[in-house]
Structure 1
Amino acid sequence: MSANQFPKLFSPLKIRGSTLKNRIMSTGHDTTMPTDGRVNDALVAYHEARARGGAGLIVMQVAGVHETARYTSHLLMATDDDCIPGYRRLADAVHAHGCRLFTQLFHPGRELMESADGLLAVAYAPSSTPNERFHVMPRALTREMIAEIVHGYGQAARRMYEADLDGVEFVASHGYLPSQCLNPLVNRRTDEYGGNLANRLRFLREVLAEMRRQTSDSFVIGMRISAGEREATGLTADDALEACTQLEPMLDYVNITAGTSASLGGAIHIVPPMAISNAYVAADSKVFKQRLGIPVFVGGRINQPHEAESVIVNGQADVCGMTRALICDPSMPAKAEAGRTDDIRACIACNQACIGHFHRGYPISCIQHPETGRELTYGEMQPARRRRKVMVVGGGPAGMKAAATAARRGHDVTLYEAGNQLGGQALLAQLLPRRNEFGGIVTNLGRELELSGARVLRNARVDESLVKSEQPDVIILATGAKPYVPDFEHDGGVQVVTGWQVLRGEVTVGRRVLVVDWRCDWIGPGIAEMLTRAGSEVQLAVNGTHAGETLPLYVRDNIAAELHRQQIAVTPYARLYGCDGDSVFMQHTTSDEAIVFENIDTLVLCHGHQPDSVLEDALRTWINGQREASPVELIAIGDCMAPRTAEEAVYEGLKAGWQI
C-alpha cells in the first residue's frame, strides 16, 4: 500500500513564501524542555525527530514577546536578539528533513499559571476582569503598555525571520491576550481598544501590521483562534469567525482549535482526553473554510492519517494538527506515506506524560513511547555488544516493551505470558466507561513486539524449574501486581469486592453501592460511573481532596463533569475504617471524625495494588546460591517492583531492554 491511500494528506500546499510537503502539522505545544528561556539541545532533538519522521510543518511552542508574557517559569522568550542563534540551529535541523518551521508568538494576558520564584506576578489584560481557573485579578493595560507589547510582537517576528524560520503564528486562541481583547465580556474598555468590534480588533490589527512591517513579504504570518471557547463567558464561534473575516487580508492562514484557559471546563479542550471524539473540531473549522479564502488548519484529537485525510477530503480544513499522534509516533507520517499503517503507534489521548508532565513542570514524553522527550538518550537504537538469551516474564506493558527493545537490539528474547492475552492491567482499564481507547496501548505494543522478532509464549507460567531448564543469561521480571485489600473490621453484612472483580464480571453488585477510592485515579470514578449506568445507586468516597487527584488536569476535570452529570455523590478526605451491618464507617483524613454511609449493599475497594514478587523472591534465592556457577542477571520492572502506572511500566521496560 502506498501514499495513494492518502492523496490529499500527502499533497503539497503553498502558503505565501513556503510550501508544505504534506498536510501533517505538529501544532504549538509546551514541552517544558527550554532552559533559561532559550532553545537547547533537547528541544532541537525533539523537533528534529518529528521532522525526520516526515511531518510537513512544525509549529513550535509559544515564545513570549514581552516581559509580562511569562506565564510559566520555563517559557521560551523572544525578547532579545540572543534568542536568534538557538532558533536558527533548530530551523537548520528541521529544514534538513524538508519540513517547514513556524513558531507561536504569545502573550497570555491574565492567564498566568505560575512564576519562576513562587511569587505571584502582576497580570495584565484589556480590563480588570478576573480569571476563574487561576484566580487571577489582572491590571488593565495602559495605552503605553499596549504599544510596548505591539512592538514586542514585531520585534519577536523579526528575530524569527532573521533566525530563518518560515513563519510565525499569532496566538489568539484559548482565552489569551488577543482573545481577551476580542471578548466583550472580558474587554470592558471605553477607549479606542474597547466597545465595538472594530475597536476590539484594533490590538490584533496593530500586532499583525507590526509583524509584517518588521519581516518580509515572503514570511508567513498566521493566527490561531478558538472556534468557541466552550465557556459561558468565553468568545463564541461567531465572534471568532467574524474576527477572522475582518483580519483575513492580513493573514496567510488561520489555525482553528477550541476551548479556553480561563475555566476548568473550557481548558479541557486545550488537550482533549480520550472521552472526547476524534477530529471533533473539524465541523467548526469547515465553517471557517467555507467563509475564508485562505488556508484553514485544524487540530483536536486527529490521531490517525485516515482521519486527517477525511478532514481534508470533506473540505473541513487544509492542514491537520496531529500533535499527540507525533508525540506518540514521530515516524507516523513516513509510515503512512509508505503504506505501513499497521505499524503506526496510535495515540490513546491519556494525557499522562504529554500535557500531564507539562502541568507538573517536567519535560513531556509519552506513556507508550518514552523515547519522546528523551531523544538525546534514546533517540538512536544502539545494537547490543553481544547477543544474550533473555527471558521476559509477564506480558503486560512493561514486559512487552522490554522484550521488544531487547529483541530490536539483537538479543535472543522470549516473552512468557501466563494468560492467553497480552496486556496485563490495560485489558481491565479499557473496560471502564469512556476509557476503551486505553486498550490501544496493547495493540501498539503488540505490533512493536511483533516487528522486533521476539518470541511470545502465551499460557506459559514460569517457575523456578523452567528458568533452570532454559538457562537464560538475563531474566526480566514483569509479573505485575494484584489488588490490595486493606485490613478492616467487617461482619459480612456488606458485600465486599474489588474493582478487578467488578470489571471482570466476577460479582453481582447490589443496588446501593459505595466505591472506596484510595488511589484517587480514574479507576474508582470509572467504576462508579459504570455501576451507575448499570442501574445501581452509587456513592464515591475518595482518600484525597477530590476525585481524580492524581490524574492529569484535563482528564480529572472531564471525570468531574461526568460524575456531576450522573449525580454521583463524592465524599473527599475519606479513609476506610470498617463495616457493621449495612453501614460503612470511614474517617475524615484530617479531623479523624467519623463519616458514616448507611444502607449499603456492596462496598467496592479501589485501594491500589500489591507487587507480585513471589517468583522474584524464589529466583533471587536461587541466584544468590548459584552466583559463581550461574551468573544470571535478574531485572524487575513495572508493578512487580512497585505498583504505579503504565507510564513507569513502559519506561522501565525500555530501560531494561536498553541496558542489557
Structure 2
Amino acid sequence: MTTLPTLFSPITIRNLQIRNRILSTGHDTTLPTAFVPNDALVAYHRARAAGGAGLIVMQVAGVHETARYTSHLLMATTDECIPGYARVADAVHAHGCALFGQLFHPGREIMESQDGTLPVAYAPSAVPNERFHVTPRPLSLRMIDEIIAGYAAAARRLERAGLDGVELVASHGYLPAQFLNPRVNLRQDRYGGDDLARRRFIDDVITAIRAATGPDFIVGMRISGDEKDEEGLDADDVMAALVAFDGRFDYYNITAGTSAGIGSAINIAPPMMVAPGHTAPLSAAIRARVTTPVFVAGRINQPQDAERILASGAADMVGMTRAMICDPDMPAKARDGRLDDIRACIACNQACIGHFHMGYPISCIQHPETGRELTYGALVPAERPRRVLVAGGGPAGMKAAAIAAARGHEVILCEAGRQLGGQALLAQTLPGRAEFGGIVTNLAREMTLAGVDVRLNQPVTRALIDEIAADAVVIATGARPRAGHVEGAETGHVVNPWQVLRNEVNVGASVLIADWSLDWIGMGLAEKLARDGCRVRLVVDGYMPGQRIHQYVRDHWAGVLHDLGVEVIAYARLYGVDERTVYCQHATSGAAMVFEDVDTLITNLGHERVTTLEDELAETAIETHVIGDALTPRTAEEAVFEGLKVGVAV
C-alpha cells in the first residue's frame, strides 16, 4: 500500500488519463542515430515505462532545418521519423505509460554544427548570447511562417506515430522564449514591439498545431517560470504570458533558467548544491493564477519530496527525470512502499547531462545500465554459481559484489577499513557535496538485497583467499594520494587533500592549493578552507579550475569561490617550495611564478593505485580481475561501470 497517495493518484489531461503524477521530462540522451529514434532509445524509454512512470516526454525534435542545435538530436521534419517514434510509442504504451514528444527550435541557442564549421543561427533579432557566443541572423517573416508550419507538420507526424501529445519547448531561452523576451526580441513588425505582438509567435504556433491534429491530441508548453538571468524573462514576464495563454494549452510544464547565461544554465540540470524542488514556488504561483494544469521539474529526486509538492498544491505533476535515470524502477518501488530500495539520484551531473555535453550517450555513475539497456538491461543468471571474493569496499567493489551476487554467485566482500565507501567518504565532507555520500548508501543497499557477505576491517591476503577457497578474486583496492616530486618539500608544510579532509593536519592561515587534478577536490578544498577563514590561493595546472568536471558544477563553484575571495591562478605547474614560498612554472611559457607567505601547500596531484594484492597474486593461477582505481585512478563513474562489467563477466 503506497504512503504517497497524491503522487500515485491518476490525472486526466484533455481526454487522456495518466496513471500517476510522475513525469520523465524531455532530455537529450545522445542515443539517436541519423536523427531518428533507434533501438537504443526504444530500450531506454521502455525501461522507464516498465518501471512505473506515468508520463514520458521524449527529447526535443527539430521542426525546421535551422533547428539542428546539436549533431545528435531528433528531427521531425520528414515522414522518416514516424516509424521510429511509433516503435517508442508501442514500447511505452505496452507498459501503461503515456508518451509525448517535444517540438523544438533553439533560435540563437546553437551548441554545435553538423560539420565543425560555425553554424548560422536564427532568432527574432540579432542579439548575441553569453554562453555560446552566437550572434544570430534575424528571422524573416517568410522563415517565421516556415517554422510555424514546421511545428504543425511535426506535431501531425508524432500524432500519426501514435504519441499521445506534444510539448512546445519555450523553456531555457529557446526560440519561443526569445520571441517573448523584450531584451532579445527587438522587432517592430507583427512579432514584436509590445507584449501582444511578442506573444504572437507562440499564439500562431498553437493555432497551427491545433489545426493539424485531432481533438484528443494533447498540446502542452514547457517554459521557465523565471530564467534567472539579467537579460532573461523574469517571473513577472512569464506569469503575464501564461495568464494570457490560459486555456490555449493542455498543460504548462514549469522549470527555470536559460541556456543563454553561464550562471543561469545551471538550472537546466541543477547539481547537488541546488536545493531539491527549488522550482516549486514558481509553479505554485503560476498554478494559483491559471486554470491550465501545471507540471513542475527541478531536482525532485525523492518521491517524498514529490508528494509534498503535489499535496501542497504547487503542481499537478512532477518531473523526476534524473531520479529515473538513476533508478528506472523508482516509481514502482515508491508505489510498493519500498522507499529504502530506491537508488536516489545524487545530482552529480557526471554521466547524464555531463555525457550529453561531451557528445556521449546518457548514463549514470550509480547505474551504468542506463543508456546501455541493450547490453545490460537484464542480468543473466550464472550458469555455475562460484565463490567470488571482492577485495575493497569502494564504489567499484560494491557494484561488482552486488551484480555478481544478483546473478547467483556466493560473494564475500572484504574492506580493510571500518566503513564502506572509499573516496566517496571524503567527497561528501566538502561544502555542498554531502549528497555524494548517497552513492555509498545506495550501493550498500544493492549488496544487501543481493545477499553479499560484507566483512569490514578485513584486508585481503593470499592466505585469506586460500582460506575462503575463492574461485575468483576481484581487486578493487583503490588508490592513495600521489605525492609526486616537489623540490624542497622537506622545508615547508606540504600536505595532501586526504590529510586535510580527515582533519589530520593544521593548515594554517594562508594556504596554497596546487591543483593538477582539476576535479572536485581542488575547488571543494578551496571553498572549505575559505569558509574556515583561510586566505586561499588555488593554483591550477590547466586553463581553469574544475576543468575536468561538469560545466554546471564548475561554473557554480567558480562563482562561489569568487565571492569568497579565493585567488585563482591558471596555467601554473608546481615546481617546488622553500619554507613559506611556493614556486611554479607557467605551463606554456615556462616562466617562474612565485607565491610567498604560504603556511601550507596542499598538493592535489592525483592518485596512485594500490598494487599490494595485485602484485601478490601476479604469479599465481588464481583468476583475478582488477577494477576501478586499482586498475588506474579515475572517477566513481569508471569504478562503478567496471564493477558492473566484471559482475556480469565473472
Using the size of structure 1 for normalisation, the TM-score is: 0.98
Give the partner amino acid of 2:280.
A
Determine if the alignment matches structure 1 residue 659 to structure 2 residue 649: yes
The farther-off stretch of 440-449 and 486-495 is 486-495
Say which of 618, 622, 626 aligns to 1:636: 626
> Which residue does the alignment assign to 1:647?
637
Q: Secondary structure at the match of 1:291?
A: coil
Q: 3-state DSSP class of the match of 2:92?
A: helix
The CA deviation at 1:228 is: 1.1
Once the two structures are superposed, the pairs formed by residues 54-453 of structure 1 within 5 Å of their partners are 54-453=52-451
The corresponding residue for 1:516 is: 514
Shift of residue 436 of structure 1? 0.3
Other-structure match for 1:32? 30
In structure 2, distance between residues paired with 1:208 and 1:450: 51
Mapped partners of 1:471, 1:43: distance in 2: 43
Once residues 285 and 396 of structure 1 are traced to their aligned partners in structure 2, the CA distance between those partners, rounded to angstroms, is 40
Give me the whole-angstrom Cα distance separating, in 2, the residues matched to 1:519 and 1:491.
Answer: 19
Q: For residues 347-391 of structure 1, what are the alpha-carbon distances to aligned partners after superposition, in whole Å with 9 as ceiling and x for unaligned?
A: 000000000000000001000000000000000111001111100
Residue 549 of structure 1 and its aligned partner are, at CA, apart by 0.3
Determine the C-alpha separation between the residues in 2 that align with 1:494 and 1:434.
31
Letter in 2 for 1:26: S
2:504 alignment partner AA: E
Q: Give 1:45 shift.
A: 0.2
* Structure 1 residue aligned with 2:574: 576
C-alpha deviation, 1:75, in angstroms: 0.9
**Cα distance change of structure 1 residues 570 and 376 upon mapping to structure 2, 3 Å threshold:** same
> What does 1:476-491 align with in structure 2 at a 5 Å threshold?
476-490=474-488
| AA of the residue aligned to 2:256 | A
d(CA) in 2 for partners of 1:581, 1:466: 46
Which residue identity lines up with residue 439 of structure 2 in the other structure?
I
Deviation track 1:159-211 (CA, whole Å, cap 9, x = no partner) reads 01111100000000100000000000000001110011100000000000101
**What is the SS of the residue equivalent to 1:634?**
strand
Deviations 1:196-240 (A, max 9, x none): 110000000000010111001111100001011111100111111
Q: Note the C-alpha offset of 1:469.
A: 2.2
How far the C-alpha of 1:409 sits from its partner, in A, is 0.2
Cα distance in 1 for partners of 2:298, 2:603 equals: 35
Alpha-carbon distance between aligned partners in 2 of 1:90 and 1:394, rounded to the nearest angstrom:
41
Aligned residue in 1 for 2:12: 14
2:368 is paired with a residue of what secondary structure?
Answer: coil
**In the alignment, what sits opposite 1:454?**
452
The AA in structure 1 aligned to 2:633 is P
Deviation digits for residues 228-279 of structure 1 (CA, Å, limit 9, x no counterpart): 1111100111111111111112100000000000011010100000000000
Q: Whole-Å Cα distance in 2 between the matches of residues 505 and 488 of structure 1? A: 22
Is the contact between residue 247 and residue 292 of structure 2 (CA under 8 Å) also seen in structure 1?
Answer: no
TM-score by length of 2: 0.99
Give the secondary structure class of the aligned counterpart of 2:230: coil
Write out per-residue CA displacement over residues 302-349 of structure 1, whole angstroms, 9 at most, x where no aligned residue. 001000000001010010000000000000000000000000000000
Question: Counterpart of 1:644 in 2: which secondary structure?
Answer: coil
Q: Which moved more, 1:399-408 or 1:490-499?
A: 490-499
Per-residue deviation, 1:423: 0.4
Structure 2 Cα separation of the partners of residues 403 and 535 of structure 1:
42
| Matched residues, number | 650
Q: Which amino acid in the other structure matches residue 197 of structure 2?
A: N
Q: 1:148 to 1:432 in 2, by over 3 A?
A: same
> 464-473 vs 643-652, which deviates more?
464-473
The Cα shift of 1:493 comes to 4.0
In 2, Cα distance between the equivalents of 1:284 and 1:166? 27
Shift of 1:468: 2.1
Alignment-mate amino acid for residue 358 of structure 1: F
- Partner of residue 601 from structure 1, selected from 594, 599, 602: 599
Gaps of 5+ in 2: none
- In structure 1, C-alpha distance between the alignment counterparts of 2:627 and 2:579, rounded to whole Å: 42
Root mean square deviation, CA, Å: 0.7
The Cα of 1:491 is off from its aligned counterpart by 5.6
Superimposed CA distance per residue, residues 33-89 of structure 1 (whole angstroms, 9 cap, x where no aligned partner): 000101000000000000000000000000000000000000100000111111011
Q: Is the 8 A contact 2:247 2:291 kept in 1?
A: no
Question: How high is the sequence identity, in percent, across the aligned residues?
Answer: 60
Distance 2:262 2:494 in 1: 35
Cα displacement (A) at 1:425 = 0.4
What is the distance in 1 between the residues matched to 2:343 and 2:32?
27
| 2:493–2:579 Cα contact (<8 Å) kept | no
Partner amino acid, structure 2, of 1:638: G
SS in 1 for 2:142: helix
Q: Secondary structure of 1:255's partner?
A: strand
Distance, in Å, in 1 between the alignment partners of 2:215 and 2:468 is 69
- Take 1:464 and 1:387, find their aligned partners in 2: how far apart are those partners? 22
1: CA distance between counterparts of 2:498 and 2:9? 48
**Alpha-carbon shift at residue 580 of structure 1 (Å):** 1.3
Give distance in 1, aligned partners of 2:463 and 2:381: 31
Alignment-mate amino acid for residue 431 of structure 1: T
3-state SS of paired residue (2:263): helix
Structure 1 range deviating more: 487-496 or 187-196: 487-496
Q: Distance in 1 between matches of 2:604 and 2:235?
A: 41
Q: What residue in structure 1 maps to residue 50 of structure 2?
A: 52
1:96 and 1:529 map into 2 onto residues whose CA distance is 49
Per the alignment, residue 531 of structure 1 pairs with 529
| Counterpart code for 1:105 | L
Give the superposition deviation at 1:529: 0.7
2:513 alignment partner, SS class: strand
CA contact (8 A) 2:399 2:443 kept: yes
